[in-house]
Amino acid sequence: MYDGVSRPPLFTLARRRPALRVAAVALAAALLTTGCGSAQQTAEDPKAAAAPAEGFPVTVDNCGVKTTYDKPPSRVVTIHQHPAELMLALGLKDRMVGTAFPDSAVLPELAEDFEAIPELAKREPSFETVLEAEPDLVYGGYGSAFAESEGRSRKAFADAGIDTYLNREYCDKKQVTMKDTYDEIRTVGKIFGVSGRADKLVSDLQRRVAEAAADVEGESEVPVFVYDSGDKAAFTAGGKGLGTELIRLAGGRNVFADLDDVFGDVSWEQVVERRPEVIAVYDYAGADSVAQKKEFLLSQPALADVPAVRNKRFVVLPLTATLVGIRSAYAVEDLARGLHPESFR
């Protein structure tokens, strides 16, 4: 999503030389210890030392960047929270050497594992900070993970010998759906050689979504306004983002589904005209708190007659839950309970 200049290769080589020297010393020591017998055995059977991992190589085309993995990545840095949660849900904690930019509370069942992984930065880490973790793969959640203007372009990482993967939601897709969530999980599972786990996770999430949708089947659609932020205008979810489908699956209708974008600004007069019955408040780090957002909406005289404001009907969703990742399935259930509470009594 950002443009800029990547780091020159000489800088990268200078950063990595100490690690290469250490590796060379370790290799020499190992050869001295094992003696000539092992060397002879390898020479007789060269395939024994270079046998590919089962199911590999794997080639993935991600946002136009084609990468071939000869074996599963073993040292991964995730930038943004939803890639980290996806990896943990696939049982890949042992492959993770760093996380960055947590923007909401982690799912309770993943919290202990998440806390055990070093946090590299509160927001996007610098290119140098990522290099210090010596990853073989960087998995980004938002386009800003690979901001060229901040020296973190995918080319800069490639020049350093590090593979990259970007959440498919930021591959300039025209429409994001739950299928993208399932495809993302399966692709990550393929990269790490855990396709069986990925299929099981997808089945579990599909079941969760189906059960929530069944609970509100036959109920009248509830008009929903998504409030992300803004005071002079309202920054809301448009029809191209995953949020619109989550609302639909939960028995609602995004009143700004006709906005031809993932997010966009609308006027408060438009909000009043569309008379939402529920307001979905997006919660994330670095913005006003949910309490502040509610207080702002409730204090605006122009909104006083909007049904959702008059009846104080709010549903709070972590922004992470509205993105391509494992949280989206949970969001359907949370939304369904907020839109149709009578169906869950």
Question: What mean pLDDT do residues 170-187 have?
Answer: 92
State pTM to two decimals.
Answer: 0.82
Question: What mean pLDDT do residues 64-83 have?
Answer: 97
pLDDT tens digits, residue range 221-278? 999 999 999 999 999 999 999 999 999 999 999 999 999 988 999 999 999 999 999 9
Q: What is the pLDDT of residue 51?
A: 56
Write the CA distances from 214 to 222, 331, 344, integer angstroms: 16, 15, 11
Query: How many angstroms separate the CA atoms of 318 and 103, rounded?
Result: 8
Question: What mean pLDDT do residues 312-321 have?
Answer: 95
pLDDT band (50, 70, 90) for residue 48 = very low
Q: What is the pLDDT of residue 18?
A: 38
Query: How many angstroms separate the CA atoms of 337 and 251, rounded?
Result: 10
Torsion sign (Cα): 109, 115, 116, 117: positive
The percentage of the chain sitting over the pLDDT mark of 90, rounded to a whole number, equals 78
Stronger pLDDT, 27 or 63, i.e. the higher one: 63
Segment (H or E) for 15: helix 9-44
pLDDT band (50, 70, 90) for residue 345 = confident
Question: What mean pLDDT do residues 196-223 have?
Answer: 96
Question: What mean pLDDT do residues 93-97 have?
Answer: 98
Domains in the chain: ranges and CATH: 9-172 (3.40.50.1980), 219-344 (3.40.50.1980)
Query: How many angstroms separate the CA atoms of 236 and 227, rounded?
Result: 5
74: tokens are: 């073993």
Query: Which amino acid type is present at position 106?
Result: V
How many other C-beta atoms are found inside a 10 Å radius of the C-beta of residue 172? 9
pLDDT of 21 > 50? The answer is no
Mean pLDDT score across all residues of the chain:
87
Stronger pLDDT, 172 or 209, i.e. the higher one: 209
Q: What is the pLDDT of residue 181?
A: 96
Q: What is the pLDDT of residue 52?
A: 59
Query: Which amino acid type is present at position 2?
Result: Y
DSSP codes of every residue in 302-325: GGTTSHHHHTT-EEEEEGGGGSSS
Segment (H or E) for 210: helix 195-215
Rounded to 5 degrees, what are φ and ψ at 65?
-105, 115
Question: What mean pLDDT do residues 82-87 have?
Answer: 97
Question: What mean pLDDT do residues 7-19 have?
Answer: 34
pLDDT of 3 > 70? The answer is no
How many other C-beta atoms are found inside a 10 Å radius of the C-beta of residue 142? 20
pLDDT tens digits, residue range 110-138? 999 999 999 999 999 999 999 999 999 99
Look at residue 248 and give its three-state secondary structure: helix
